Homo-oligomer: A and B are copies of this chain.
């Protein structure tokens, strides 16, 4: 854990994914740890905070999520674009050394025995809300957010502060075929 990681109040945790960043899903079960990239993650509720994430049946991470009932959604940065793309295109089933090859390092947060990815901009500890029809029919998983943290260099006082941070800490937004966009300039609208 680095010195910049600070807890985010759960009622503000939706703000970490509200702008649609590409995420990394990590999970562990029975001594196996995996991390995959996903573009299809989304807020679902404010209180208690919930999110949705789409996990393909072919992924090892999905099996770990289903078995463990817990997982981490974390938000990688521009500095992690290559790693994010690698773990999104390589499967642990075919490549047991995937995480080492990608340079993905894991750590634990105090009080949460889950695999968190080093170097991300924010982390959401999640507890699966089992919905068998959604999972089987749509690959759609619903979870409650039970812990949230962010790198205070880029998210503080409940807001992303990209303008004043190192551009390498900006969030990634995936299109296809290795093409990402970083998040850009702030636009503030007044009034209601």
Residues of A within 8 A of B (CB): 12, 15, 18-22, 39-45, 50, 52, 54, 78, 81-82, 85-86, 89-90, 133-134, 138-140, 142, 158-160, 162, 170, 172-176, 178-192
Least CB distance, A164 to chain B, in whole angstroms: 13
Which of B39, B90, B134, B186 sits near A181, CB closer than 8 Å?
B186
Nearest to A12 among chain B residues (CB) is B176
A175 — which chain B residues lie within 8 A by C-beta? 15, 18-19, 159-160
Q: Closest chain B residue to A16 by CB distance?
A: B175
The answer to whether B187 and A78 touch across the interface, beta carbons within 8 angstroms, is: yes
**Known contacts A186-B180, A188-B178; is A52 also within 8 Å of B45 by CB?**
no
Q: A90-B192, A159-B175, A162-B181 are in contact. List 7 more A-B contacts (CB 8 A).
A: A18-B40, A42-B54, A82-B189, A85-B191, A85-B192, A179-B188, A181-B184
Q: Which of B19, B39, B89 contacts A174 (CB 8 A)?
A: B19
Q: A172 contacts which chain B residues (CB < 8 A)?
A: 187
| Docked pose: A41 CA to B89 CA in angstroms | 24
Q: In the docked arrangement, what's the CA distance between A135 and B43, Å?
A: 15
Of the candidates B15, B20, B50, B90, which one forms a contact with A21 in the assembled complex, judged by CB atoms under 8 Å apart? B20
Judging by beta carbons under 8 Å apart, are A85 and B142 in contact?
no
Alpha-carbon distance between A40 and B142 when the two chains are bound, in angstroms: 13
Q: Beyond A19-B175, A183-B173, is A192–B89 a contact (Cβ under 8 Å)?
A: yes
Given contacts A20-B20, A175-B159, A176-B18, contact A44 B140 (CB under 8 A): yes
CA–CA, A158 and B179, complex, Å: 12
